[in-house]
Structure 1
Amino acid sequence: MSDSLHIVCPHCDAVNRIPAARLADGPGCGSCHRPLFTGEPLPLTAERFHKHVARSDIPLLVDFWAPWCGPCRMMAPYFAEAAAQLEPHVRLVKVDTEAEPALGAQFSIRSIPTLALFKGGREAARQAGAMGTADIVRWARANGGA
């Protein structure tokens, strides 16, 4: 890690520069003053997604899902538990492919749920299918998330 990291606020999308050594200290946003890490998955629209992927220096773990998908709904609480374990070293986000079909098409999402790990603005790994908390955490860490 470098001396400081850019972290996009989950509330106002302001880009914050945080000393890497302070990442786990519960830093707040310099703009809206709310916590930069909530321990919960962040739902993102296409516009917000692109900003978080492009501007955050920590990996982004994306759950591409849809409300009608049974396995997606089954995995949701496990993904939330994984967020509590992986933050602040990985930001977990959810993209509803029904509400944001262009994102699903852009990343050629063929089945849901699909997890994709983005590092440095690029997709680094992908895994289709529902997983439990331990498997999500293990997969993210094995692929460079935290």
Structure 2
Amino acid sequence: MTGSTVRCTNYSRANRVPATVQGRPRCGSCRTPLPWIAEAGYADSAPVAEQAGLRVLVDLWATWCGPCRMVSPALEQVATELAGRIKLVKADIDQSPALAGRFEVQAVPTLLILDHGRTLARQAGAPPAPALHQWVEHTLADRVHPDGPPRRLRQSTT
């Protein structure tokens, strides 16, 4: 379980963002929401991904996978654009094969959007940043009520 250091978009101040924290990370100077990017394995996936206070975009990837490396910058861009609304969690399935089994991963990269451990949406492949952003936004908006249950599982194969 590792956190990250991110720069505030307003002041370029470096902020340390832990993998788990109550609430949503904000800049220590100006209180702007910060991108929340963390890594997790099977042992720490519950506190990092499933118990977060906001929706979690999970990237199930492998080091040998070219498309996984290609989609990583797009995922970080979306996490930055949606700072304060989502948390990006990256999980290497070779390091955590039980996590891949838990989420029934058959291809990498596999992207999930979780809400308190429940899968709201699933997508295999490496879409470009605009399509990825649209998929995440659509999934976040596809709710009965912000605190209510998900309407349905949304699958995509782009």
Name the TM-score class by shorter chain.
Answer: 0.7 to 0.9
Structure 2 unaligned runs (5+)? 1-15, 147-158
Shift of 1:39: 2.2
Once superposed, what is the RMSD of the aligned Cα atoms?
2.7
Q: What TM-score comes out, normalization by structure 2 length?
A: 0.69
Which segments of structure 1 move beyond 3 Å, counting only runs of 4 or more?
none
Supply the AA of the counterpart residue of 1:125.
Answer: A
For 2:96 and 2:58, the matched residues in 1 are separated by 13
Q: How far has the Cα of 1:125 moved from its partner?
A: 0.7
Where do residues 7-86 of structure 1 align in structure 2 (5 Å cutoff)? 10-11=17-18, 13=20, 15-16=21-22, 18=23, 26=26, 38-39=34-35, 41-86=37-82
SS of 2:140's partner is coil
Query: Residue 130 of structure 2: which of 130, 134, 138 is its match?
Result: 134
Match in the other structure for 1:91: 87
CA distance in structure 2 between the aligned counterparts of 1:110 and 1:10, rounded to whole angstroms: 31
The change in CA–CA distance for 1:10 and 1:77 in structure 2 (over 3 A counts) is same
Alpha carbons 2:48, 2:89 under 8 Å: kept: no
Which stretches in structure 1 are left out of the alignment for 5+ residues? 1-8, 29-34
How does the TM-score come out when normalised to structure 1?
0.74
Name the SS for the 2:43 alignment partner: helix
2: CA distance between counterparts of 1:120 and 1:93?
Answer: 13
Q: Provide the identity percentage.
A: 30
| Aligned partners of 1:40 and 1:80 also within 8 Å | no
Counterparts of 2:114 and 2:27 in 1: how far apart (Å)?
A: 22
Greater per-residue helix proportion: 1
Residue 114 (structure 2) pairs with residue 107 (structure 1): no
Partner Cα separation in structure 1 for residue 60 and residue 75 of structure 2: 11
Distance 2:51 2:69 in 1: 29
Alpha-carbon offset, residue 144 of structure 1: 1.6
Kept in 2, the 8 Å contact 1:65–1:113? The answer is yes
